[in-house]
Structure 1
């Protein structure tokens, strides 16, 4: 009766120490989490820099899961051909974004839903291993939600990656809050919110399931990666940890929900969220 949730900033599979992208190592690292649901940020889809592979499909296969990818940039982020506003996911178009993985077996995705949020105006200085420092514009952001069938009944899970501009990330978090009103409870939000816990609490006073610094990974100083719950039964026992996954610049958050203290659900309403 354990449901394991995780949030992983994949950084496209790039190893912070070497600057090289290794999708196979990323797949192995995520599979080792043994999670039922994983929200993944910074995922490549058919991009040349990561060998033209569908990272969501490979991550899902490694976990034995269903994978749902939402593009936020068409083309390589920061490159001239990259499009800031990706209003749709094109299956055969190189792109970049977020993914939600829901493992088969006792946990099955009953439906997926997306929310798109416009890009901010900020630019982030980054170090490109090939070309050196450059300014990368913000991109459209997205939220992917799934209603998951668990032994204790339906659980709504949301995955997101918010803007690196704090004021814009705060506005987006309010949009996530409004979007989540349409989803059944209990609900858990996972993701790289690019906001510290104090600001998150003021905007979204949900229950934090994990606390501790997650960024930068080698010696984390601030928590940017979160797991927040709304409507979770107080009898559910929560165990959480923060750990390094692959060579990412973020540490992952992993949460175990132990539902053995709850009565077995009777005739369930199989909630479904439209695609």
Structure 2
């Protein structure tokens, strides 16, 4: 049975806790985890604050992988032939067969959001569909965005997953909306779900809340889920080892 190791990682535009932009550390974290495909959040593309670099392309290049990027916001400057932006990305060991990105309707004055869908080969004849997103800080807006992502995900064939930074706790309405139709991989796999982010913790910087998720369709099984220990961002990566169930169940 073919396994797939899936990661979600909010990289904070490659900025380590000490303020240094270190894309090599991000790529190293992915490599050490043995991931096959990664959904990335807070990714810069040609923005001055991070050295005007195409971060998704550089991370994928360091790994010898493929990538896709979706801007949630675009910058004012033009660097080379490419418009600058900030958003989400997928880097993949396997070729990207299809990609679709969509900006989500945002409230006035709030940071724009988006989702990115890619299709990858999995196994000898199958495909894997991944949706990556980064939800905002307003709960009402998150609920609207979750409904759009649920509607989009419903039309995708198995096998599929939705990953990202939800900015919401497991008991929140927006996470419960997801788990009404999808499976929270961290709660299905053996062991207890681990925190991924530090929020007013003591001591400062100690992860104490879980806001980063891997949601899988019921036709998939999570053999193992763990949170990485590398502190190369203000979030910790979540890594899930997935397999297809013998009899897939559609949602």
TM-score by length of 1: 0.76
For 2:120, the equivalent position in structure 1 comes to 148
Q: Which of residues 211, 230, 245 in structure 2 aligns to 1:224?
A: 211
* Structure 1 vs Structure 2 CA RMSD: 2.3
For 1:6, the equivalent position in structure 2 comes to 7
Q: Which runs of 4+ in 1 moved over 6 A?
A: none
Which stretch of structure 1 is more off in the superposition, 40-49 or 28-37?
28-37
Q: Which of residues 241, 250, 266 in structure 1 aligns to 2:235?
A: 250
CA deviation profile, 1:190-229 (whole Å, cap 9, x unmatched): 1001111122443122111113221128312211100011
CA deviation profile, 1:118-167 (whole Å, cap 9, x unmatched): 2234xxxxxxxxxxxxxxx5322111111221117222111110112122
Alignment partner of 1:173 is 2:160:
no
Whole-Å Cα distance in 2 between the matches of residues 160 and 13 of structure 1? 17
In structure 2, the CA distance between the partners of 1:11 and 1:201, relative to structure 1 (3 Å rule), is closer
For 1:113, the equivalent position in structure 2 comes to 100
Larger proportion of helix: 2
CA deviation profile, 1:173-202 (whole Å, cap 9, x unmatched): 111001112211121111001111122443
In structure 2, the CA distance between the partners of 1:24 and 1:238, relative to structure 1 (3 Å rule), is same
Whole-Å Cα distance in 2 between the matches of residues 244 and 71 of structure 1? 28
For 1:22, the equivalent position in structure 2 comes to 22
8 Å CA contact retained: 1:43, 1:98 = yes
In structure 2, the CA distance between the partners of 1:220 and 1:111, relative to structure 1 (3 Å rule), is same
Aligned residues between the structures: 229
8 Å CA contact retained: 2:67, 2:96 = no
CA deviation profile, 1:45-71 (whole Å, cap 9, x unmatched): 111221111101011112322111111
Q: Which of residues 203, 214, 225 in structure 1 aligns to 2:196?
A: 214
Q: State the Cα distance separating 1:21 from its structure 2 match.
A: 1.8
In structure 2, the CA distance between the partners of 1:237 and 1:6, relative to structure 1 (3 Å rule), is closer
CA deviation profile, 1:63-105 (whole Å, cap 9, x unmatched): 3221111111222xxxxx59xxxxxxx961222111011213x
Q: State the Cα distance separating 1:110 from its structure 2 match.
A: 2.1
For 1:36, the equivalent position in structure 2 comes to 36
Alignment partner of 1:196 is 2:169:
yes
Whole-Å Cα distance in 2 between the matches of residues 29 and 212 of structure 1? 18
Q: State the Cα distance separating 1:262 from its structure 2 match.
A: 4.4
